[in-house]
Amino acid sequence: MTFKAGTQKLDGHFKLSFNQNGFEESTRPIRHNASIEEIEEALESLEMIDDVIVNSNSIDTNNSGSGAYQWHVTFNSLKNAGDIPLLTADFASSDAKLTGSGARIEIIETRKGVSADVFKLKIPWNSKEFAIVLNDVEGPVVSLGSSALDLQKALVLNFGLESVLVERYASQPNQEDEYFLLDIMGSSILEDIEVIIARCNEGQTDCFEERRAVSLCSAGIASPFGGHFRIQYAGSVTGPISVFATATDFETVLEELESIGDISVTITESHRVNEYKVPVTNGHVGQCRNFYIHFIQAIHSPPEVTNGHEKPLLSTHYSGDLELLQLSEIHILGEPTRDDAFSGDYQSSITEVVKGVDYNHGGPVEFAVSINNGVDFSMTNTMFHYNAIPTLDSIHPSLGSIVGGTTIKVRGSNLFKGLIRSCVFWGTGKADVAVMSPILEYISSNEVTCNSPALIDSGNVTVFVT
């Protein structure tokens, strides 16, 4: 909803109207510079509107002081769920007139309403109590005037309907109470709900029972969450993976790719309700399903052919900063999510949690903490440094006297001062023991020297550094 004016400053009043099912209501006159709270109060005073969220911003880009504004109105209740009609504005009548050169109001739809089927249950004002019936099974009695939460708990306890959201709109005197019901998982079970109502006449002397079915208030246009996705890695694409796949299923499909040898998958689920429109407590709206993938082993060279059979050569583990997996979500069912999302909406993404480090080079990684089993991580983190693993290529000379004291040049990689301190000679003499010899000189990161220890007997020993 946009208020526009020309060079003359905007002034005056306007009215907003809402028309649904042939019945139109209009607000009282609203000031052109009304506060957010005033706009919300005016709209929510209408019988057909329950709850709205209003935000505004100035669009007077030239700072002319014309008073041009843009208002964003979000309908925030099941009573107004789905694709509802646009508001209309009156700004040229006797009690609602805007002044200013070119003063006008434009109303456009910025996002079409999306919801699963919403059903309405009406309870007459002269009822004593009522009971929900589902598939001919009658639940316990519910008192007239019970809250939405009370009815929602009854549906969970008696019928296991944990995914049903309920909102109640209290009636005016001698009018019906209204309960609006939404299955946020998109099933059709609510179509089968009936209600047995115990009603009495005004003197409470003549009572009887009435059986009613729920009525469809808003036909759903959202697709239930489901379907499958595919993962692409290093030029290969997996088969379809269900959004409800188990960790074992996920591992099996990924390990079928040529460039993946062994991975470990952990699945966590969380309910980030605050990021979604519907503030339910039964854990379905705002549900996040997270697949954490740990790369353990990769095929790092072409297969070795022995007797006509291919034997893949596997690395001991993945190393280096691996490329991210790519997600194809074309076959995921639902609607893309947003901040005010209804039930059927989803959002998918792939995020690098820990950057891979090449074991030949080492390096820093970010250290984060989670207190909810790896679902969310701390935002302000410190760094942890991985030291590269020293590797040996050769020693020279490769023989020496049993009395020891032979200066040996050790060549390899990552032979940094502070990272290694000694040469270790393993298997010295008849006893299978290790003797440590301090590093004499750090020539470079690829070469150090140390002296051989004395041996009792001649023989071969293994040399490494530590």
Q: Could you give the percent of the chain with pLDDT greater than 70?
A: 67
Residue with more model confidence, 255 or 329: 255
DSSP letter, residue 417: B
Q: What average pLDDT score do residues 396-401 get? A: 89
pLDDT computed for residue 313 by the predictor: 44
Q: Which residues contact 9 (CB under 8 A, 6 or more apart)?
A: 65, 66, 67, 100
- Read off the pLDDT band of 119 (50, 70, 90): confident
pLDDT computed for residue 219 by the predictor: 67
User: Which secondary-structure segment (H or E) carries 148?
Assistant: helix 148-159
pLDDT digits (tens, 9 = 90+) for 50-98: 888 888 877 766 665 556 778 888 888 888 877 788 899 998 888 888 8
CB 211 within 8 A of CB 195: yes
Is the predicted pLDDT of residue 448 greater than 50, yes or no? yes
Q: What average pLDDT score do residues 328-347 get? A: 51
Q: What average pLDDT score do residues 131-135 get? A: 89
Angstrom distance (rounded) from CA 89 to CA 103? 13
CA distances from 344 to 98, 273, 325, 330, 336 (A): 41, 14, 25, 16, 9
- Read off the pLDDT band of 29 (50, 70, 90): very high
Is the predicted pLDDT of residue 17 greater than 90, yes or no? yes
The residue ranges of DSSP E strands in 81-187, in sequence order, are 88-90, 92-93, 96-99, 104-106, 118-123, 127-134, 137-143, 164-169, 177-183
CB 60 within 8 A of CB 66: yes
pLDDT computed for residue 37 by the predictor: 92
pLDDT computed for residue 343 by the predictor: 36
- Read off the pLDDT band of 18 (50, 70, 90): very high
pLDDT computed for residue 9 by the predictor: 75
Sheet with 127-134: strands ordered across: 137-143, 127-134, 193-200, 207-213
Residue with more model confidence, 188 or 77: 77
pLDDT digits (tens, 9 = 90+) for 155-176: 888 888 887 888 888 766 667 8
Angstrom distance (rounded) from CA 326 to CA 352? 11
Angstrom distance (rounded) from CA 55 to CA 73? 7
Domains and CATH numbers, the chain: 2-106 (no CATH), 118-218 (no CATH), 226-352 (no CATH), 391-465 (2.60.40.10)
Is the predicted pLDDT of residue 42 greater than 90, yes or no? yes
Angstrom distance (rounded) from CA 199 to CA 171? 16
Is the predicted pLDDT of residue 295 greater than 50, yes or no? yes
DSSP 164-190: EEEEEEPPPTTS-EEEEEEETT--SGG
Q: Specify the long-range contacts of residues 268-273, CB closer than 8 Å, at least 24 apart.
A: 268/292, 268/373, 268/374, 268/375, 269/375, 270/372, 270/375, 270/376
CB 296 within 8 A of CB 262: yes
Angstrom distance (rounded) from CA 294 to CA 129? 56
pLDDT computed for residue 342 by the predictor: 37
pLDDT computed for residue 406 by the predictor: 92
* Selection from 300, 270, 292 nearest residue 354 by Cα: 292
pLDDT digits (tens, 9 = 90+) for 210-227: 888 888 877 665 555 667
Is the predicted pLDDT of residue 307 greater than 80, yes or no? no
- Read off the pLDDT band of 373 (50, 70, 90): low
DSSP letter, residue 403: T
Is the predicted pLDDT of residue 402 greater than 90, yes or no? no
pLDDT computed for residue 285 by the predictor: 43
Q: What average pLDDT score do residues 398-411 get? A: 90
pTM of the model: 0.47
Q: Could you give the percent of the chain with pLDDT greater than 90?
A: 8
Residue with more model confidence, 347 or 438: 438
- Read off the pLDDT band of 43 (50, 70, 90): very high
Tokens coding 50 = 């329950």
pLDDT computed for residue 302 by the predictor: 47
* Selection from 411, 417, 416 nearest residue 464 by Cα: 411
Residue with more model confidence, 64 or 104: 104
- Read off the pLDDT band of 47 (50, 70, 90): confident
pLDDT digits (tens, 9 = 90+) for 340-366: 333 334 445 555 555 554 555 555 666
- β-pair type (164-169, 177-183): antiparallel
